[in-house]
Amino acid sequence: MSAIKSIYTCQNCGAQSPKWIGKCPSCNEWNTYVEEIVEKKQATGKTAARLAGNQPMTLDKIETLQNKRIPTEIAEFNRVLGGGIVPGSLILLGGDPGIGKSTLALQLALAMKDRKILYTSGEESLQQIKLRAERINTTSENCYFLSETSLENIVAQTEEIQPELLVIDSVQTISTELIESSPGSVSQVRECTSAILKMAKKTGTAVILIGHITKDGSLAGPKVLEHMVDVVLQFEGDTNYLYRILRSNKNRFGSTSELGIFEMDSDGLHEILNPSEHLITKVSDHVSGTAIAGAIEGIRPFLIEIQALVSSAVYGTPQRSTTGFDLRRLNMLLAVLEKRAGFKLVQKDVFLNIAGGLRISDPATDLAVICSILSSNLDVAVNHKYCFAGEVGLTGEIRAVSRVEQRIAEAEKLGFTRIYIPAHNKSFDQKKFRIEIIKAARVEEVFRSIFKQ
């Protein structure tokens, strides 16, 4: 007798229960349990030890993957992956709808002209894919397209064509016949991914799985999906801005701190190899409320413009709002300004914006943030040839930042005349820089220097 049973699965975190529950005990979300029919295969005989399967090996017998990576034609993508696509690996590419996941995958597939690639889409028809390909104006003779939602067919076609890279757009639209629940449900996603994983490891085909993102920003589907795949990439950016950022949240073959920056244009995505030049608005006259931060994301330094607006609060409770910067960190910096530098910002609204729609997590931007706030508050412009790098501590001290030389070099390259850095940064050869380097231990010193008070 085949054991058909139904199980209730949380669509948010993938927890399962034999009964329906209103609130998920594992992720505390409400109303996320959906009934799914699970057909368990009959256990096939005894699970006797089989020595014929994979054999254990010592390290020196295992071939190294390094020189086998497949470099893509998109340098920013290679950078984020740590050098190229590892054969047989599973890459999950997540992002909000409309951010450009399909465009990126298609551009990637079409640019690798001498490699066989299978691009399957469950979301678009072949005609729609062709339209998009015409828009980005590239073509490749080795790229095959398939509009398909059945996992079994995708696997069969992959085994037939034997591509080096398989793109599946998206994991939420494909389904396997083995499970009755609808595409996109937790059990379908999990089952399909595990089948694709097995296929990838068997055939050595690398797979890019495109995944949707839920409204709270996590990848739709269970966390287990992220555990299964080798690399989790996130494609993000505000749809209103042109910039798109590719980050890796997990990478079994490289660093996760790398960042790729693209610009969405009318003819597809373009790589931005020198982000600083794009991220700084070239203003000729001095305006108050902006300061330039020397930030580092991944191994790449770039300069970004921080914009602040401080105005008197209209209502009792002042507003604090940020785009691209952590709000709690802003509140902390405002408290430091208030307490340590004596600036009264309690009755002021403070708005902070990182130009270009970027989201920055480098703490070295702190110093530029507080300088831009003060500049707006005093309505005195910061010299637009000055740049700042420093983390601000709770006592108002400027704490050392990592790789300060790279930041200085980037500022110098872009024609800045002065950079403020932490006094406690370990010493380095200052003579090799032409830019004026000012070391400061406390935020007050910086204020005095830039606002000449």
Least CB distance to ligand TYD at residue 275 (A): 19
- Displacement of CA 249 from its chain's centroid (Å): 7
Exposure of 64 by Cβ count < 10 A (0-12 exposed, 13-18 middle, 19+ buried)? exposed
For Mg ion, the closer CB: 32 or 173: 173
Q: State the Cα–Cα distance between residues 121 and 170, nearest whole angstrom.
A: 7
Choose the contact partner of 212 out of ligand TYD, Mg ion, none; CB within 5 to 8 A by kind: none
b/e map of 23-55 (b: 16 or more CB within 10 Å)? ebeeeeeeebbbebebeeeeeeeeeeeeeeeee
For Mg ion, the closer CB: 102 or 185: 102
Least CB distance to ligand TYD at residue 262 (A): 11
Size of the site for Mg ion (CB under 5 A): 1
Choose the contact partner of 103 out of ligand TYD, Mg ion, none; CB within 5 to 8 A by kind: ligand TYD
In the range 98-117, which residues lie near Mg ion by CB under 5 A? Answer: 102
Q: Which two tokens stand for residue 194?
A: 């595990």
Choose the contact partner of 95 out of Mg ion, ligand TYD, none; CB within 5 to 8 A by kind: ligand TYD
Choose the contact partner of 268 out of ligand TYD, Mg ion, none; CB within 5 to 8 A by kind: ligand TYD
Q: State the Cα–Cα distance between residues 277 and 314, nearest whole angstrom.
A: 37
Least CB distance to ligand TYD at residue 392 (A): 37
Residue 372 interacts with Mg ion (CB under 5 A): yes or no: no
Are residues 391 and 364 in contact, defined by beta-carbon separation less than 8 angstroms? yes
For ligand TYD, the closer CB: 42 or 266: 266
Choose the contact partner of 157 out of Mg ion, ligand TYD, none; CB within 5 to 8 A by kind: none
Stretch that binds Mg ion, among 31-39, 97-105, 224-232, 357-365 (CB under 5 A): 97-105
Least CB distance to ligand TYD at residue 102 (A): 3
User: How many CA atoms lie within 13 Å of 324's alpha carbon, on the beta-carbon side?
Assistant: 24
Instruction: Find the helix or strand (DSSP H, E) in which 449 lies.
Output: helix 443-451
Which 3 state secondary structure label does DSSP give 146?
strand
Least CB distance to ligand TYD at residue 438 (A): 42
Choose the contact partner of 301 out of Mg ion, ligand TYD, none; CB within 5 to 8 A by kind: none
Which 3 state secondary structure label does DSSP give 193?
helix
CA distances from 388 to 103, 143, 335, 391, 413 (A): 36, 47, 20, 10, 15
Q: State the Cα–Cα distance between residues 367 and 372, nearest whole angstrom.
A: 9
Only one residue has tokens 């231990």, namely: 441
Least CB distance to Mg ion at residue 132 (A): 9
For ligand TYD, the closer CB: 111 or 341: 111
Only one residue has tokens 């089948």, namely: 195
Choose the contact partner of 266 out of ligand TYD, Mg ion, none; CB within 5 to 8 A by kind: ligand TYD
User: How many CA atoms lie within 13 Å of 204's alpha carbon, on the beta-carbon side?
Assistant: 7
For ligand TYD, the closer CB: 134 or 379: 134
Least CB distance to ligand TYD at residue 270 (A): 10
**Shortest-Cβ-distance residue relative to Mg ion:** 102
For Mg ion, the closer CB: 11 or 102: 102
Residues whose CB is less than 8 angstroms from the CB of residue 391 and which lie 6 or more positions away in sequence, other chains included:
363, 364, 366, 367, 398, 399, 400, 401, 422
Least CB distance to ligand TYD at residue 122 (A): 12
The pair phi, psi for residue 166, each rounded to 5°, is -120, 130
Least CB distance to ligand TYD at residue 144 (A): 19
Choose the contact partner of 267 out of Mg ion, ligand TYD, none; CB within 5 to 8 A by kind: ligand TYD
For Mg ion, the closer CB: 78 or 102: 102
For Mg ion, the closer CB: 102 or 193: 102
Least CB distance to ligand TYD at residue 103 (A): 3
For ligand TYD, the closer CB: 103 or 376: 103
101-111 vs 126-136: helix axis angle to the nearest 10?
A: 70
The pair phi, psi for residue 30, each rounded to 5°, is -95, 150
Q: State the Cα–Cα distance between residues 248 and 31, nearest whole angstrom.
A: 31
The dihedral sign for the CA sequence 165, 167, 168, 170: positive
Choose the contact partner of 277 out of Mg ion, ligand TYD, none; CB within 5 to 8 A by kind: none
For ligand TYD, the closer CB: 103 or 290: 103
Residues binding ligand TYD (CB under 6 A): 95, 97-103, 132, 135-136, 264, 266-268
Interface residues toward Mg ion, by CB under 5 A: 102
